[in-house]
Structure 1
Amino acid sequence: MKDKILVVDDEWNMRNLIKIHLSKTFVDIDEAENGKEAIQMVDRTPYNLMILDIMLPDINGWEVCATVRKTKKIPILMLTARSDIKDRVYGLNIGADDYLIKPFAPEELVARATALIRRQKMIDKEMDTSILFFEDLSIDMDSRTVMVKDTPIELTPKEFDILYLIACQPKRVFTREIILDKIWATYEFRDLRAIDTHVKNIREKLGKSGLSYNPIKTVWGVGYKFFNTAEDKT
C-alpha cells in the first residue's frame, strides 16, 4: 500500500512546492487549503502523515492539530515561520510530532516526512502486538488504544508510544536519551524536555480517568520506569 500524505497550506505556491519535493519519494499526495477542509479530509481518508501549516485563513494549524488528535493517530509535521521554543512545546502538548521551520531545505522536508512515516511503521512492527494488562489499565498495540477500566483514554501518538515502550519492559529504567532514540526519528526535532512534557500529559490523562496509581515512575537522576501497582501514589 502506498503511503498517503495530506499537505495543508493556504498558499498554492507552497503546497505546490511541497508536492514537487515530496513526489520524488511519495506519489499519493492530497492538498487542503484551509483548516476545515483538512479536518474533513482526515475524517474521510486514512493518511500516513499530515504536513500542517500553522497560519491558516479560517482556523489555525494548532486548532486543526488538536481537533485531529481527538480521533486520529496519524503523525503530524507542523510548518512554522517562527522558531520560538514556546511554540514548539505548545505544539507538542497538543499532539504535534515534529516541526519544520520556514524556509526549509527540500531535502530536510523529505527526510522528516520519511522518518515520521518510517518510525510509526517500525514501532508498529517491532513492538509486541499483544494487549498489556495491568491493574485497571490495558494497552492495546494493535488498535493503539489505552483503557482505564472501561474508559478509553485519548493519547497522542508519542504519548502512546512512550507508555507502551515503558510498559513492555516494566523492570527496565529508561533514560530520556533512550526514549528519544527509540521513538524519535533521526531527523525529528529533539528536546529532552519534551519527554518530561509527554510523561506529564500521560500521567494527567490517566489520573483524570480514574486510575488510582501513577504507572510511570520517576527514577531520580536517571529517567522513567513502569510501575503497575496502586501502592505507589507518587
Structure 2
Amino acid sequence: MASEKILIVEDDLQIQTLLKDYINASGYIAVTASDGEEALQKFETEAPQLALLDIILPKVDGFELCRKIRQESNMPIIMLSSKKEDTDKILALGLGADDYIEKPFSPRVLIAKIQAQFRRIYELSGTPATDTLRVKDLEVDVKARTVTLKGESIPFSVKEFEILHYLMLNKNQALSREKIFDEIWGYNEFGDINTVTVHVRKIREKIEENPSEPSYIETVWGIGYKFKG
C-alpha cells in the first residue's frame, strides 16, 4: 500500500474533497490547503512527496506557489486549471511543473498520472520504496519521508529531510558543504553555500539532545559535516 503524502491545493472545497477522497482511496495520504499561504505552511510542516496545485488561488496563486516550492524541492508538481491557454501551460512548465491537467478531468486519469510520477522517481533514484535507515534512536523512512527519534515523529522540511538522508547514506564520511549543496540543490543551482550550515543547524535542533555537542552530525573543521554511525 502506498503511503506517500500528496499536497492538494484547491480553493473549491467540493473539488478539494473529491480529490482528497480519491487520493486516500488510492492508498496515498492527502494533505489539503485552500490558499497559497496555507499551502506553503503545509509544504514545510508535512513534507509531501507530490503537489497538486490549482492555478487560481487566494493570497498566493499557483504559479508563484510552484516557483516557491521548486526553489526548495524537486518533488513532482502537477498543475490543475480550468484555463486552457497554451501560455499558461508553458508558464507552468517553465516554472518547474511536471504536468498540467485541464479541468474538468477524470480522477482516474489524475491518479494514473500521480502513479507515473512516483514510478519515475523510484526508477531514477534506484531507491527501494521500503528503505529505512536507523542509527541509535534515529530512524528515517525513505518511502514515507518521515523522521522519528525515540519513536516520536519529528516534522522536517523537504531540504532538511534530504540533507539528513544524504548524510546518513554516507555515514562516517566527511562531506564538504559544497558537496552537500551540489547533491541537494543541484550542480546548476546558484545559491549561498551557507544555506547548508543553516539547514544543518535546524536539523541538529530537532535530533540532537545537545545541539552544541552533537552526537549524530559532527562538524569536520575545514571540510563540512559527518554523520556518525
TM-score (norm 1): 0.55
Which secondary structure does the structure 1 equivalent of 2:126 belong to? helix
Whole-Å Cα distance in 2 between the matches of residues 90 and 23 of structure 1? 30
Structure 1 residue ranges without an equivalent (≥5): 131-137, 154-234
Shift of 1:143: 3.8
Structure 2 residue ranges without an equivalent (≥5): 128-168, 171-177, 194-229
Say whether the 8 Å CA contact 2:70–2:96 is kept in structure 1. yes
Instruction: Kindly report which structure 2 residues correspond to 1:1-234, keeping only aligned pairs within 5 A, or say none.
Output: 2-125=3-126, 143-147=183-187
Q: How many residues align?
A: 144
Write the letter of the residue equivalent to 1:38. A
Which secondary structure does the structure 2 equivalent of 1:73 belong to? coil
Say whether the 8 Å CA contact 1:7–1:29 is kept in structure 2. yes
Aligned in 2, Cα 1:148/1:101: closer, same or farther, shift over 3 Å? Answer: closer
Structure 1 runs (4+) greater than 4 angstroms displaced: 138-142, 148-153
Write the letter of the residue equivalent to 1:54. I
Shift of 1:59: 1.6
Whole-Å Cα distance in 2 between the matches of residues 139 and 91 of structure 1? 30
Deviations 1:144-173 (Å, cap 9, x if unpaired)?
Answer: 4323699679xxxxxxxxxxxxxxxxxxxx
Which secondary structure does the structure 1 equivalent of 2:80 belong to? strand
Which secondary structure does the structure 1 equivalent of 2:11 belong to? coil
Whole-Å Cα distance in 2 between the matches of residues 58 and 151 of structure 1? 27
Which secondary structure does the structure 2 equivalent of 1:59 belong to? coil
TM-score (norm 2): 0.56
Which secondary structure does the structure 2 equivalent of 1:30 belong to? strand
Which secondary structure does the structure 2 equivalent of 1:23 belong to? helix
Which secondary structure does the structure 2 equivalent of 1:50 belong to? strand
Say whether the 8 Å CA contact 2:23–2:29 is kept in structure 1. no
Whole-Å Cα distance in 2 between the matches of residues 5 and 141 of structure 1? 26
Deviations 1:195-224 (Å, cap 9, x if unpaired)?
Answer: xxxxxxxxxxxxxxxxxxxxxxxxxxxxxx
Aligned in 2, Cα 1:9/1:149: closer, same or farther, shift over 3 Å? Answer: closer
Deviations 1:13-51 (Å, cap 9, x if unpaired)?
Answer: 011111122222134111001000001111122211101
Aligned in 2, Cα 1:24/1:150: closer, same or farther, shift over 3 Å? Answer: closer
Aligned in 2, Cα 1:142/1:85: closer, same or farther, shift over 3 Å? Answer: same
Whole-Å Cα distance in 2 between the matches of residues 149 and 55 of structure 1? 28
Say whether the 8 Å CA contact 1:83–1:101 is kept in structure 2. yes
Q: Between the two proteins, what is the percent identity of the paired residues? A: 31
Shift of 1:114: 1.1
